[in-house]
Amino acid sequence: MATWNLDPAVIHLNHGSFGATPVEVLALQSELRAQMESNPVRFMLRQYQPALETCRSELAGFVGADPDGLVFVPNATYGVNSVLRSVEDRLRPGDELVVTSQTYNACRNAVTATAARTGCSLVVADVPFPLSGPADVTEAVLGVVTPRTALVLLDHVTSPTAVINPIEEIIAALDPSVMVLVDGAHAPGMIDVDVAALGAAFYTANCHKWLCSPKGAAFLWVAEPYRDSAVAASVSHGYNDGWPGSGSRFHAQFDWTGTDDATARLCVARSLAVIGQHRSGGWAAVQAANHELVCAGRDLLIAALSIDAPAPAEMLGSIAAVPVPPEPQPSESIFDPLTTALHERWSIEVPVFAWPQSPQRLLRISAQQYNRLDDYHRLVDALTEELALG
């Protein structure tokens, strides 16, 4: 059984934002940091690369990727930025870069910046929420695709609306000349991911969310035709000189992007093992239990709020969003007043997002192995009082 360092006085219903890491994995990270500080040169120049290769092959096996096509990045945002930088030479003024209305804001910003630099247009597919099924997403995305579409950014699991997008169907329907970048920030560890089978050009995702690795561990997978021209968002030695021990030009671009604390990515193999041994049945059992719990938690919220399910349960992994009554007084704070009240008065960490725009909003719950159904009952009690429900 994995154990966690989480504050027991708090109800943690937001694994989705920054994850949480089991004690055993954090112990390895501390050990690696001690080794690094006892001899930084030995650690960086001799230990780092072989340890990275072990994590690369374990992670590649887990997500159905070939290790040759997989590199570590610090986070999904960096993965998206690296891809956009890598494809700039392929873009022509007037080309269209597609995102959706549910694309994660930081990554949408990265596409907006690329569009501005290259003279391309940003095209936004308006995906509804609540939605009746995966076809709502497929239709919205394919509805904005034109012969000028050069790149489509698809979130595998969306952030504010917390649904699994039908990326397989969308990719299959697109012309192969369209470059698809999948932002799978939430996907590995939440749902089965088979990167190579998807047919995308690029797939980036976090390990520090549902794989429970330490913060600063993520990956980027690049399909074979794009590997030679891929560059990291931070260009370093690999651009001309290679990097000692890196197996290819592509790996060298990303294996060293400047001195940093590499211990998070060196713990990925351990986090795969620790969570994989947490339940008999391994990762499949963990994912299924988290899904079941988030659906049960969502059912409690739906009943308390007297609303219909805003998305079918089949579109959920282990996060779920529900609309809550609009914010009564618009606030200047980046935190919704309800998030603050739940944090301050009830010791519940749960995010509330303005959606589709303030004052309308969504509350998003997560379910991870440290959560129990009672956590969601406590949330319902708190909401009943804060929102004067019932």
Q: Which residues bind ligand PLP (CB under 6 A)?
A: 17, 75-77, 104, 106-107, 155, 159, 183, 185-186, 206
In this complex, which beta carbon is closest to ligand PLP, that of residue 80 or of residue 305? Answer: 80
CB of 19 to ligand PLP, least distance (A): 9
Give the span between the Cα atoms of 274 and 56, in whole angstroms: 17
CB of 63 to ligand PLP, least distance (A): 16
In this complex, which beta carbon is closest to ligand PLP, that of residue 210 or of residue 243? Answer: 210
In this complex, which beta carbon is closest to ligand PLP, that of residue 75 or of residue 271? Answer: 75
CB of 225 to ligand PLP, least distance (A): 24
CB of 161 to ligand PLP, least distance (A): 10
In this complex, which beta carbon is closest to ligand PLP, that of residue 106 or of residue 178? Answer: 106
In this complex, which beta carbon is closest to ligand PLP, that of residue 114 or of residue 206? Answer: 206
Q: Is 374 exposed, middle or buried (0-12, 13-18, 19+ CB in 10 A)?
A: exposed
> Per the omega criterion (within 30 degrees of 0), is the bond before 312 cis?
no
Spell out the SS3 assignment of the chain. Answer: CCCECCCCCCEECCHHHHCCCEHHHHHHHHHHHHHHHHCHHHHHHHHHHHHHHHHHHHHHHHHCCCHHHEEEECCHHHHHHHHHHHHHHHCCCCCEEEEECCCCHHHHHHHHHHHHHHCCEEEEECCCCCCCCHHHHHHHHHCCCCCCEEEEEEECECCCCCCECCHHHHHHHCCCCCEEEEECCCCECCECCCHHHHCCCEEEEECCCCCCCCCCCEEEEECHHHHCCCCCCCCCHHHCCCCCCCCCHHHHHHHCCCCCCCCCHHHHHHHHHHHHCCCCCHHHHHHHHHHHHHHHHHHHHHHHHCCCCCCCHHHCCCEEEEEECCCCCCCCCCCCHHHHHHHHHHCEECCEEECCCCCCEEEEEECCCCCCHHHHHHHHHHHHHHCCCC
CB of 345 to ligand PLP, least distance (A): 25
**Terminal-to-terminal C-alpha distance of the chain:** 39
In this complex, which beta carbon is closest to ligand PLP, that of residue 108 or of residue 346? Answer: 108
CB of 152 to ligand PLP, least distance (A): 15
In this complex, which beta carbon is closest to ligand PLP, that of residue 104 or of residue 346? Answer: 104
Query: 227: which residues sit within 8 A by CB, 6+ positions away?
Result: 68, 69, 248, 250
CB of 135 to ligand PLP, least distance (A): 21
CB of 281 to ligand PLP, least distance (A): 27
In this complex, which beta carbon is closest to ligand PLP, that of residue 185 or of residue 195? Answer: 185
Q: Which residue is associated with the tokens 């699994």?
A: 164
CB of 200 to ligand PLP, least distance (A): 15
List the structure tokens of 58: 């374990």
Torsion of CA 225, 228, 233, 239, to 10 degrees: 180
CB of 346 to ligand PLP, least distance (A): 23
In this complex, which beta carbon is closest to ligand PLP, that of residue 136 or of residue 155? Answer: 155
In this complex, which beta carbon is closest to ligand PLP, that of residue 141 or of residue 304? Answer: 141
